[in-house]
Structure 1
Amino acid sequence: MIGKLSVIAVGLCTTLSVWAQEAPTDFTTQVPLAVSGDGPWYRLELPLSVQLSARQADLSDVRVFNAAGEPQAYALSRQSAQRTESRNVADVKWFPLYAADTDESVPNVVMKSTAEGTLLEVRPSKAGKQVLRGWVLDASAVKAPLQQLSLDWSREQDGFQRFSIEASDDLQHWEAWGDGQVARLSFADERVEQHDVSLPGQPARYLRLVWQGQVAPTLTSAKLVSATRSSLPMPLVWSQPLSGVRLKAGEYSWQLPTGLNVERLRIELKQPNTLAPVTLAGRREAKQAWQPLSNGLLYRLTQNGQDVVQDELQLPGVTVGELKLQVDERGGGLGVEAPAVRFAVRTTQLVFLARGEPPFILALGNGSVKAANLPLSTLIPDYSAERLKTLGQAKVTGDAVVRATTVAIPPEAGTDWKKLGLWAVLLLGVAALGAMAYSLLRQPAAKP
């Protein structure tokens, strides 16, 4: 009798396993992969265009299959820029940079510091009339990576201030950190001020700010924001232009392809001399209320024969499916048609353990499946950040194959026949077991 019950139980488990087994055809999009390097683990940076084929914002419907259609064990790495352990704001000292010729790219100066790295003096290397060209900031007391620079300057020097940013640890060798731009403007009887500049999140003892084509303003304050992160964030990836709609005067909206953790938004400013204070709101679904995300000043102005552009807004990285921009039209607005936008999200890295024969395919696009990814430390027993860099590489090759939507949809949109079938098999199995037990109980007891 026990043997019969075991056979039935095994049969039920086997049937359920077959029914529950996922296959590439359960997903609307299939993308071929090519692998190179040492396995059996391979890492793949998911292109944004591929991510947009997912039906779930957290990429729970991403899978990797081998040539036989067998699912592969995998993990997702999606570090956020918000994973900060500590954040500190420090006032730093600044030293003027003078030059004899305002067309010099970098002032020729002499700099002196103590053995501990504290800056003592910055002076011109030549005599004669000198023009203020920039400033050197002493960040030697700040040990953590530098995230943001905040400047204030003399009230007599309003307008835009554009400068190059360089970093050094020894005052001899300088590394370019890009350009910075701050502003103080009068706008419709109001003051609009922008004091902060983003830095690349690297440590440095000194920063050199050099104004190009104009005299530097007189600084009144310089602050550096530093932060120690638990892990470095993945780089940002930008989307293709996304068109929107004009809701009313000064109000525009954009529907994202799916719910995304957007961290930056770039608004197209077509017309020169555009100045627009804006407020950005977002929501995940149409039935939800709008939530404030960001605000700022967008502009495209001509200064010294060049376009000075600020067209980006920084977002908190929460999941949104729709965006709405409100514009203060006292600055002239952004036009009758909604401007195109580009959005940026963090790169997502997928690591999978190759089992079976290639070619491998990436499948995604199923709104009903559950997440199947493992933690990286489980997928790779001796996992470390250094180990991750040595893994083999996987890349998307060829075009994605998009199938017609035949994937099971959530219960409110239709009947889940697969789930009903599983319940039917279970009930039949229980009924069979009950019938056998009842039959055994009715049999007369064996005579001694």
Structure 2
Amino acid sequence: MSHKLNLSWLGVFAMGMALSAGAQEKLADFTTQVPLSVSGEGPWYRLELPLAVQLNARQTDLSDVRVFNADGEPQAYALARATTQAEDSRTLTDVKWFPLYNSADATEHAPSVRVQSSANGTLVQVQPSSQLEAGEEELRGWLLDASAIKAPLQQLILDWTSERDGFQRFTIEASDDLQTWQSWGEGQVARLTFADERVEQHEVGLPGQSARYLRLLWETPQSAPILTSAQLQSSRSLPLPLVWSQALAGSSVKAGEYTWQLPMGVNVERVQVELNQPNSLAPVTLSGRRDSSLPWQPLSSGLLYRLTQGGQDVVQNELQLSGQTVQQLKLTVDERGGGLGAQAPFVKFAVRATHLVFLARGPGPYTLALGNSTVKAANLPFSTLIPDYSAAKLTTLGKASVDGGVTASTTAAVPGVVSTDWKKFGLWAVLLLSVLFLAAMAFSLLRKPPVKP
């Protein structure tokens, strides 16, 4: 009996293997198929997935992304995506700040300073390089000491006091030696009184690079405020760059409330609201949810504006999020500022870029496939896909790109899926019948009376 049972279980195992082979994925199993072109040295190729292509996926985590060769064989691949671990690695650090003074008639030049620092580079004292007469000095900006932070800087958060409310605009420069400075763009914070309420904006985005020191120089020196707090948000891992969607139209059911439906659930990091009308000012709250059956959850709030100052438009039209997965957005506007109009403004949303690396096997050309709600994730860790893997090695790989733009060719029907499903059902039926037959056999043998000697 033991011999017969062993043979039967071998048969069941063989059928299970056949089921696995019969269920192998095919290109026709995916609704969207995008031709790829490759360049550089293989056999590994790196592809930055365009957002317009990603939005054809049927699974938020991109478990349904695959690459096939010309013979329809799936290729081994790995994905680099933003993860919750990257979010958890963010750190907020209070930093020291030192005033930068210039003479009143030398505001076109950056202040020259003498510094005293500790052995590890931490600033102890910052003074003008030349003696300024009493009453001649003018506050031009502030020097921030970030030498204790050993990670890329992502955000600057300031607090200040000033004689009057308004916008504070300044340039941001970075340095490691206090001699050579690199421009990091412009920053803008605001404190306004609006409809008997205080509206404040304290955060300024940074480019995600490391630096020991930051220099903030006000465009209008006489308006430079007194800082009361300076914080820097950093991350141990350098985040992937942001990629932006096309403009998305929305709808408005009632005054001051606008909604948008995203093509699929995505991990949104920023939202940009189109402000067409000059002199728009709108305190807003942004909410999101996965689908209509769930309650709205607050995601972000802030002050959006497009104001004309000195003949130029001053614009703040972005809201920063934490990468939550949403498919619907709702913007609630405090209309005491005049609102944003009866029609919903267009919005763009940004997500972290996704990089795919595949190991080219078999003949090209290669095809990117996605759009299947039932398949399981098949991506490998980078260390498995690429021997002696390192982040630096990624930059040396060959490159793949979407051939002919980001327009995906979507199949109208997937006939291969139907035939494959019937095959799977048949194999499962045979497997189930075999198990039932073995169970009946075992039960019959157990009930059979023992043979008398």
Task: Say yes or no: TM over 0.5.
Answer: yes
2:141 alignment partner AA: G
Q: Structure 1 pair 387/124, CA: closer, same or farther in 2 (3 Å)?
A: closer
Q: Distance in 2 between matches of 1:424 and 1:62?
A: 30
After TM superposition, give the deviation of residue 297 of structure 1 in Å.
Answer: 1.0
The answer on whether the counterparts of 2:97 and 2:145 sit within 8 Å (CA) in structure 1 is yes
Q: Distance in 1 between matches of 2:18 and 2:336?
A: 68
Structure 2 residue aligned with 1:406, among 406, 414, 417?
414
Q: What's the counterpart of residue 444 of structure 1? A: none
Q: Distance in 2 between matches of 1:381 and 1:22?
A: 26
SS at match of 2:42: coil
Query: Any residues of structure 2 matched to 1:117-128 within 5 Å, and which?
Result: 117=121, 118=123, 120-123=125-128
The answer on whether the counterparts of 1:80 and 1:234 sit within 8 Å (CA) in structure 2 is no
Q: What's the counterpart of residue 83 of structure 1? A: 87
1:85 alignment partner AA: S
1:157 alignment partner AA: R
The CA deviation string for residues 55-111 of structure 1, in whole angstroms up to 9 with x for no partner, is: 11111111111111011111111024843436242241322232444762x335243
Q: What's the counterpart of residue 431 of structure 2? A: 426
The answer on whether the counterparts of 1:256 and 1:321 sit within 8 Å (CA) in structure 2 is yes
Q: What's the counterpart of residue 339 of structure 1? A: 345
Q: What's the counterpart of residue 305 of structure 2? A: 299
The answer to whether 1:369 aligns with 2:372 is no
Q: Distance in 1 between matches of 2:35 and 2:139?
A: 58
Q: Distance in 2 between matches of 1:437 and 1:84?
A: 55
Q: What's the counterpart of residue 63 of structure 2? A: 60
After TM superposition, give the deviation of residue 7 of structure 1 in Å.
Answer: 9.5
Structure 2 residue aligned with 1:271, among 277, 282, 285?
277
1:121 alignment partner AA: V
SS at match of 2:326: strand
2:409 alignment partner AA: V
Q: Distance in 2 between matches of 1:103 and 1:97?
A: 9
Query: Any residues of structure 2 matched to 1:142-157 within 5 Å, and which?
Result: 142-157=149-164
The answer on whether the counterparts of 1:111 and 1:171 sit within 8 Å (CA) in structure 2 is no
Q: Distance in 1 between matches of 2:21 and 2:149?
A: 59
Q: Distance in 1 between matches of 2:152 and 2:33?
A: 41
The CA deviation string for residues 134-187 of structure 1, in whole angstroms up to 9 with x for no partner, is: 222333444444333232333413100111000112221101111110111010
Moved more, 159-168 or 81-90: 81-90
Q: Distance in 1 between matches of 2:8 and 2:346?
A: 65
Q: Structure 1 pair 235/80, CA: closer, same or farther in 2 (3 Å)?
A: farther
The answer on whether the counterparts of 2:154 and 2:205 sit within 8 Å (CA) in structure 1 is yes
Q: Distance in 1 between matches of 2:117 and 2:423?
A: 74
The answer on whether the counterparts of 1:91 and 1:224 sit within 8 Å (CA) in structure 2 is yes
SS at match of 1:277: strand
Q: Distance in 2 between matches of 1:251 and 1:102?
A: 49
Query: What stretches of structure 1 of length at least 5 have no aligned partner?
Result: 410-415, 439-448
SS at match of 2:373: coil
Q: What's the counterpart of residue 239 of structure 1? A: 245
SS at match of 2:293: coil
Query: Any residues of structure 2 matched to 1:170-189 within 5 Å, and which?
Result: 170-189=177-196
The CA deviation string for residues 298-340 of structure 1, in whole angstroms up to 9 with x for no partner, is: 1111122221111111111111111111111111111000000
SS at match of 1:83: helix
After TM superposition, give the deviation of residue 16 of structure 1 in Å.
Answer: 2.0
2:169 alignment partner AA: R
2:411 alignment partner AA: R
1:404 alignment partner AA: A
Structure 1 residue aligned with 2:260, among 254, 259, 263?
254
Query: Any residues of structure 2 matched to 1:300-339 within 5 Å, and which?
Result: 300-339=306-345
2:431 alignment partner AA: L
Report runs of 4+ in structure 1 exceeding 6 Å deviation.
1-7, 431-438
Q: Distance in 2 between matches of 1:348 and 1:27?
A: 19
Q: Structure 1 pair 54/143, CA: closer, same or farther in 2 (3 Å)?
A: closer
The answer on whether the counterparts of 1:167 and 1:174 sit within 8 Å (CA) in structure 2 is yes
After TM superposition, give the deviation of residue 406 of structure 1 in Å.
Answer: 3.2
Query: What stretches of structure 2 of length at least 5 have no aligned partner?
Result: 444-453
Moved more, 38-47 or 114-123: 114-123
Q: Distance in 1 between matches of 2:422 and 2:103?
A: 78
TM-score, length of structure 2 as denominator length: 0.86
The answer on whether the counterparts of 2:95 and 2:146 sit within 8 Å (CA) in structure 1 is no
1:420 alignment partner AA: F
Q: What's the counterpart of residue 443 of structure 1? A: none
Q: Distance in 1 between matches of 2:195 and 2:164?
A: 19
Moved more, 370-379 or 163-172: 370-379
The answer on whether the counterparts of 2:147 and 2:213 sit within 8 Å (CA) in structure 1 is yes
The answer on whether the counterparts of 2:98 and 2:126 sit within 8 Å (CA) in structure 1 is no
After TM superposition, give the deviation of residue 401 of structure 1 in Å.
Answer: 2.1
Q: What's the counterpart of residue 389 of structure 1? A: 395
The answer on whether the counterparts of 1:164 and 1:210 sit within 8 Å (CA) in structure 2 is yes
Q: CA RMSD in A?
A: 3.2
The answer on whether the counterparts of 1:137 and 1:206 sit within 8 Å (CA) in structure 2 is yes
After TM superposition, give the deviation of residue 418 of structure 1 in Å.
Answer: 5.7
